[in-house]
Amino acid sequence: MKKILLIILFLGFILIPIFFVYAQETIKILLVPGHDDEVWGAQYGNMKEADMTLALATKIYNLLKKDEKFEVYITRSSEGYTKEFADYFADRQADVVSFKENAKKEMQSKVDNGSFIQKTNPPHNRVSEDMAIRLYGFNKWANENKMDAVIHIHFNDYPRPKKWTIGKYRGFVIYIPEGQMVNWMGSGQLAANIFIQLNKKYATSNYEKELGGLTPDQTLIALGSNGTLNAGARSVLVEYGYIYEKKFRTKNTREQTYKNMAQLTVTGVKKYFFKNGP
């Protein structure tokens, strides 16, 4: 109950008009469809999370591209990583590794001197070293290219005995940077606007660690853990639902769900960045 109350207060705070962003320049957004063809994330039957995230992210991309107020980038296409990012990792991998290691050292120093307090975070699957480097690379690229927002697209899961097993959890959740992280304020406001739109049609997660639908986290690289995203780089990670949910099980319902979720996400983005929204 306390967590839900805090979320309600948070929503009320961010919806005060003075906190709307009055955008004067093109808004730069990076879309990161979670996972890839080598490490595809969750799976239900023959459905792979990487394919689902790409399908949804592409719809979000196409909707945003129609609006000249947005400059939109995406990390993957049906052919793999886009040229922008394939070239970046080929040419700058050593720089990314150095960026990662330096950031971790600086954060450990803050923890040691008490200027950053580590808190209990929801459990997450451990990512491979290669994927961690890619995620840190996305952050480094976002900083260098002055992204206004980074949106990570995912579908949720939890351990099941077989890939055809239907689990007990349902619903979406949006992960946001914890309050000590430099990009937490704008990220939280963006997340809340997306949350309000998605919640018009979809229920929030019933997993006890995600109750309320907006969940702060210190450890997710996607959100800028270890201080790897600048204050102006708003970052959210949306788990749009559990991969085995009924609406994702058939092609027709899946496609319609992607369409709905993409439109609701874009509406939330526009309502955050522009006073009058779409």
User: Which CATH number goes with the domain that contains 216?
Assistant: 3.40.630.40
- Across the chain, mean pLDDT equals 91
Is residue 201 assigned to a domain?
yes
DSSP label of 204: B
**Residues 48-72, mean pLDDT to the nearest whole number:** 97
φ/ψ of residue 55, rounded to 5: -60, -45
**Residues 214-230, mean pLDDT to the nearest whole number:** 97
Name, in order, each residue with C-beta under 8 angstroms of 273's C-beta and a sequence gap of 6 or more: 21, 23, 27, 69, 148
- pLDDT in the model for residue 277: 63
Say if strands 47-48 and 70-74 run parallel, antiparallel, or are unpaired. Answer: unpaired
**Per-state percent for the chain, helix, strand, coil, to nearest 5:** 45, 15, 35
**Residues 166-181, mean pLDDT to the nearest whole number:** 96
Is residue 249 assigned to a domain?
yes
Is residue 255 assigned to a domain?
yes
Q: pLDDT tens digits for 153-168?
A: 999 998 888 988 999 9
Q: pLDDT tens digits for 86-97?
A: 999 999 999 999
Report whether 132 contacts 218 (CB < 8 A): no
Report whether 214 contacts 7 (CB < 8 A): yes
DSSP label of 37: S
Is residue 247 assigned to a domain?
yes
**Count of alpha carbons within 13 Å of 38, Cβ hemisphere only?**
8
H-type alpha helices, the chain: 2-14, 49-65, 83-113, 129-144, 184-198, 251-273
| Count of domains observed in the chain | 1
Q: How confident is the model at residue 14 (pLDDT cuts 50, 70, 90)?
A: very low
Single-letter amino acid code for the residue at 155 = F
Is residue 18 assigned to a domain?
no
Name, in order, each residue with C-beta under 8 angstroms of 253's C-beta and a sequence gap of 6 or more: 246, 247
When mean pLDDT is compared across 141-145, 146-150, 159-163, 216-220, the lowest value belongs to 159-163
Is residue 15 assigned to a domain?
no
| Residue closest to 133 by CA, chosen among 85, 93, 87, 190 | 93
Say if strands 27-33 and 76-77 run parallel, antiparallel, or are unpaired. Answer: unpaired
- pLDDT in the model for residue 18: 35
| Residue closest to 156 by CA, chosen among 129, 174, 139 | 174
- pLDDT in the model for residue 27: 95
Q: Is the pLDDT of residue 22 over 60?
A: no
Q: What is the pTM of this model?
A: 0.92
CA distance 40 to 276: 38
Domain around 241: 27-273
**Residues 36-57, mean pLDDT to the nearest whole number:** 95
| Residue closest to 1 by CA, chosen among 179, 178, 211 | 211
Q: Is the pLDDT of residue 200 over 80?
A: yes
Q: pLDDT tens digits for 261-277?
A: 999 999 999 999 986 66
Name, in order, each residue with C-beta under 8 angstroms of 117's C-beta and a sequence gap of 6 or more: 111, 180
When mean pLDDT is compared across 9-13, 101-105, 132-136, 164-168, the lowest value belongs to 9-13
- pLDDT in the model for residue 126: 83
Bridge partners for 174 per DSSP: 214, 238
Is residue 14 assigned to a domain?
no
**Residues 113-138, mean pLDDT to the nearest whole number:** 91
Q: How confident is the model at residue 17 (pLDDT cuts 50, 70, 90)?
A: very low
Is residue 116 assigned to a domain?
yes
